Structure formats: C-alpha cells, structure tokens
Amino acid sequence: MAEPNPSPSVPGTERSLASLPGATALPRAPTAEAIDQAFRAALGKMTGGLSPTAFGAAWADWAMKLAANPARVKELQNDAFARAADNLEFASRAAAGKPLSPTDGREGGDARFAGDAWQQFPFNVLARGFENGAAWMRELPQGVPGLDPYHADLVEFTVRQWLDALSPTNFLTTNPELLELTRAEGGQNLLRGAQNLIEDMARLVQKQGPKGTEPFEPGKGTALSKGKVVLKNALIELIQYSPTTATVHAEPILVVPAWIMKYYVLDLSPKNSLVKYLTDQGHTVFMISWKNPEPSDRDFAMDDYLNLGFRAALDAVSAIVPEQKIHATGYCIGGTLTAIGAAALAREGDTRLASMTLLAAQTDFSEPGELALFINPSQLALLEAQMYQEGVLDSRQMGGAFQMLRPRDLIWQPMLQSYVKGNREPMIDLMAWNADGTRMPYKMHTEYLYRLYMDNELATGRFPVGGEPVNLKDVTAPAFIVGTETDHVAPWKSVYKIDALVGSEDFTFLLTSGGHNAGIISGAVHPKRKHRVRTRVKSERHLSAEEWCATTVPTPGSWWPTWAKWLAAHSGPHVAPPALGAPDAGFPPGADAPGEYVLAR
C-alpha cells in the first residue's frame, strides 16, 4: 500500500532574510516561524477564518481612493441627504396611520417587506429607512476611480454581511409579523425556539448531525444501491454496484466524487439516485468513497489522491472488467482530479479511458466566482496555519464560508424559522447529506488552494504529477462537461473554460438549470428543470460562454437522459454483467455498500 507523501514545507516560509536585496544571511529561527504560525492559527479561530488584513486593506484602499476623488464623495453626500429627506417625507405620511407600503412610489423593493403588516406605522418607516440606508451602502464601493476591483468586491461582501445581519426582519421587536405570531401563540413559538436552540447546541457539542437527519443515514434512508466494496486502501473504498439489468454496456463507469462532500449525494433516495439511474440504464458502475480524514492523515497530498484514489480505482476496474475502456466521471473537485488523472494517463500513453465526463468541475481557476473572496495570500496564510495546527480543516469552517456567500437564505432565515418562529424545517435527503460534512487534510488542501486557485497551474500547464507537469491538451478522449446555471462553487462560465484546454475532438457541453448540488442531482424526471446542450468538433469555431448560451436552445427536463444517450452512443454492444470483484486479481468482494468510510463523522 502506498504511503502518503512526507509533510511539505509551509508555502512562503522557505524564504529567508538573505533572499532580500541587500540583506545578510540571517535566516529565521524555526521557533520564530512556529510562533508566527501559532499566532495566525489563533487569529483565524477568532475571526472565523476571515483575514482582517485582507478586509482591512480593502477598506483602507477604498477610503484612500474615495478621499482622492472629491466628486465621488460629493455624489455620495448628496445621495445620503436625498435619502434622509425621503425618510422624513415618508415618515410624515406614514404617521397619519393609514396603511402605506414601504415601497410606495418605487418599483421593486425588498420582498421581505411585502406583507401587509409592514404597511403599518412605525414598521413601514423602519423598512423604508432600512431600504434607503441599504441602497446607499451598496453604492459605497461603486464608481470609485482607481479602486482595486478585488478590494471593491471585499467591501461589497462586507456591506452585504452587515445589511443581511441588521435587517429589521431579523429582530422580534422590529418585525411586525414575528410580533403578531408571538401574540397569536402566546409566546409558545419563543419557547419552542429556545428548546430548538438548546437542542441544537447540545447536538453540536456531541458532534451529532442536525435534528431530523437520523432517517437519512447512509445504508438506511440513503445510499441504498446494492453493491460490494472491492478495494479498500488508506484513502478510498471502491464500490462496485450490482447490475439491475440482464445485460450491460461493455464499458464500465468509474465515478470520482468530491472529497469535500460524501459520495452518497450521487446515491440519495431511489428517485434521485444517479447510481440507480445508471445501473437501470444498463451500466456497470464503480464509485469511489473517500475516507473522512483524521488529523493523523494530515500529510495526504494531491498526488496521494491521484495515486491511492483515481489510479488505484482505475486499476481495480480494469482488473474486474478486463479489456474494456472506462468512462471516467468526476464531480466537483473530483472532476478536477479526473481531468488531472486523464492528462497524466495521456502523457504516459495510457488509453484506458473511453470518455471523460465532468460535473460542475473547474479546470481553469482564473475566474472562480464568489469563492475568490476567500482566496488571497493573507486569507490562505490564516487558513493554512489553522490546518497545520489541527492537521485537517473542519467541515463546519468550510460550511460557514459557503453560508456567508448567501447569508440571508442560509443563516438568518433558518435561524428565524427555528429559534423565533419555533418551527423546524422539514428534513429532506439533500439537506441531511449536506449536514454530513467531511474534513480536508492539511497538505492536500494547501496544495489545492495554492496550486489550483491561487496559481491556476492546471490551466497553464504547470501542475505537477509525479514531479512533471501535465497538460490538458493531451486529453483527446470524448468529453462531456456539465455546468449549472446558479452554481456558487463552480460557476458555469468557469467550468466552460475547459473547452479551450482539452484536446478532445468530440466535445459536448451541457448547461442545466439549478445549482451546484440540486442542478446535478435533478433526478431523471424533473418538471422544473431545463438544459442546453451542444456538441462540437475542435475544427469548429470556439464560442464564448455568452455566445454559446445565447445560441443554444434550452430543452425542458432533466439532463440525465441526455447524458445517458451520449454514454450509450459512446459504448459498445451489451454483454453479460461482470462478476462483483475479481478475487484472483486481488480484488475480492468485501463489505456491502455503502461501506465503512462513508459512515465516519
């Protein structure tokens, strides 16, 4: 069994004072580095992983650039005076006591203030004042000449956090709908909310999942597809699923899920299980189940995820289904790894891949979307120090970062629902899975953030595999790439960039409605979904993302049947299903699916 790579030096700490112009050879003592790292780790815990340096620099840049542009200052002052006057004028009309909408005289408005209760004094005045103040604050980073665009994004992000936190809808005393609910229930909602809060805090301390997740435990309410673990090593279990048809396509499918999530998002309930759908379509499906790392696994690196994960699984599939090419399918960061693996195989002349399908996976990180707010040198230095201290990055910290991208929907509304209204949101399979988080090992996640996000090494042909860089141009297998319209993790325009990177003559891009998870896990039948799809050969003109979207007609329904037809067209005749495992080749069938790794918290 391969061992994980030795611990790396911390990026940025290899440089000594002697490397600076005019400096003498005065290398920093290891104890000084350790002290600095411990301080950064402690600071990161205090700030929730957000770098005060990055945000402080952004606001300082904004303040200095604004001060150097008095015309823009004057515009903001005039707008502030105008909005203050509007507040006074609106308050004078609202004081008459007649119902008056906070959006009176305006188009649109905040949907949270649309209810009749917000038309009553003084709540309509509060809502109007908040809307005016919010609109003015959103203008702060706009139109400031010379302001760094990234700093403008950080300022806008900070403003958004403040506004979503300070909205009068979030407080009992300033929300007439909550006050009426409390009056109608005689305060019972607040009692239930307090009970919910106490219960949630206790479950958090005991490291239990949220209330209501118990029926969705893998192997009981989710991950129900039958199969066997045919390979287990220090990093993965490989599951081979039992056939559900009399014959199968000759070429098997190897699915490489993300290790930032548990694999069973692809095998949720039977109605939305991609595994079940594929086996019902006559495919032999293999699934990687990643180990949830412990602090002792801190030194697992990207090469380990490639060798113990992708390559080890590929070798097992080749032994169990010999003399057949393999459809490699990767999801999210698992798709990024699949692309890296495909490039490495191509470099070596290994032709085992029949095709490559990537689901919501980025290979060019030059425009990674809103997550770029958390990717800067000072931010990564804090995060890296925390990971170095702990050995892993906790799933709750990653989840918190995603929540801050949509705080109104993912933080404040759920808190109001549970702790003020006293109502539990009905648990569904996707919500229960989302609460079943995973950790990231220190070395791998450091490499991933620096090499891929910060330095974009994969897209520029500089990402090393086995010490030598790989190039996606070497990948010539047919490619099927899926992006989702409202993806906050892997924006579809970023996913689409692979069209200019791979050498595949047969290239298909599909854009589906929905987000990073719900868009992919749509089920075979989904009346609210639509998708666009187009195939081109490399001799045809490359289209920009905007042109591609504008000229590709949407098709109603789930994207799954479209992909199934593509897979069938790129597969050979049906054959008898292969046996589960290959004992003679060293891959005996072991534990039943879903295996053991997926159960670890």
Show which residues are catalytic.
Answer: 332
Q: How far, in Å, CA of 141 to CA of 158, rounded?
A: 11
3-state DSSP call for residue 575? strand
Q: Please choose, from the candidates 509, 227, 228, the residue with its C-alpha nearest in 3D space to the C-alpha of residue 359.
A: 509
Helix (H) or strand (E) holding 349: none
**Three-point CA angle 403, 50, 303, nearest 5°:** 85
The string over 306-325, giving b where at least 16 C-beta atoms fall within 10 Å of a residue's C-beta and e elsewhere, is bbbbbbbbbbbbbbbbeebb
List of residues 6+ apart from 266 with CB closer than 8 A: 255, 257, 273, 274, 275, 287, 331, 521
Token pair, residue 140, equals 């702060």
Residue 483 backbone phi and psi in degrees, to 5: -120, 160
Which residue is it, tokens 């220090």? 234
At position 148, the amino acid (one-letter code) is D
315: which residues sit within 8 A by CB, 6+ positions away? none
Contact 326, 30 (CB under 8 A): no
CB 559 within 8 A of CB 588: no
C-alpha 418: how far from chain center? 25
Number of helices followed by number of strands (H, E) in the chain: 20, 16
Give backbone dihedrals phi and psi of 331, rounded to 5 degrees, phi first. -120, 130
Q: Is 573 exposed, middle or buried (0-12, 13-18, 19+ CB in 10 A)?
A: exposed
Q: Is the CB of residue 247 less than 8 Å from the CB of residue 576?
A: yes
Query: How far, in Å, CA of 536 to CA of 481, rounded?
Result: 12
The structure tokens 């699915």 sit at 255
